[in-house]
Amino acid sequence: MIGRDLTLLGEKITIVSQNKLRVDGDVRGNVHGKEVIITDGGSVEGMVSAEKIEVHGAVRGSIRAVTVMLHATGQVDGDIMHHTLGISEGAQFDGRVRRSNDTAELMPVLDPELIAAGQVQ
């Protein structure tokens, strides 16, 4: 969990979680995880990649996941690539959406070595 009182800043920061990651604070970097939940007090400025992403807070950057859910308090400014997308009434979204039938291309890379080597889109 990235708490409300935590802000991560820097160049080329990438957070990788093999499990569920909850973002309550402010991340200015990329986030990769099995499941990522951005709470209503949380924000990410960068790419978010996971099997499942729930946005209650804010994302400024691209989202790539098999399942994406934008809740009523969610705000996304960026493109979304998904297999399944849900957008609740009240959610704010500015960007493009692309649906992929190939869920394998949407699966997050959770190997820090591959990410560091630049082998991740």
pLDDT at 36: 96
Q: Look at residue 3 and give its three-state secondary structure.
A: coil
Residues 6+ apart with CB under 8 A from 50: 21, 31, 32, 33, 34, 35, 36, 65, 108
pLDDT at 90: 96
pLDDT at 10: 66
Residue in the block written with tokens 């790539």: 64
* Residue 116 near residue 93 (C-beta atoms within 8 A): no
* Residue 57 near residue 42 (C-beta atoms within 8 A): yes
Question: Quick one: tokens of 92?
Answer: 């704010």
Low-confidence ranges of the chain (pLDDT < 50): none
Using CA atoms, how far apart are residues 61 and 80, in angstroms rounded to an integer?
9
Q: What is the CA radius of gyration of the chain?
A: 13
Over residues 26-40, the pLDDT tens digits come to: 999 899 999 999 999
Using CA atoms, how far apart are residues 25 and 43, in angstroms rounded to an integer?
6
pLDDT at 32: 92
pLDDT at 52: 97
Eight-class DSSP state of 109: P
Helix or strand run (H / E) with residue 113: helix 112-116
pLDDT at 82: 96
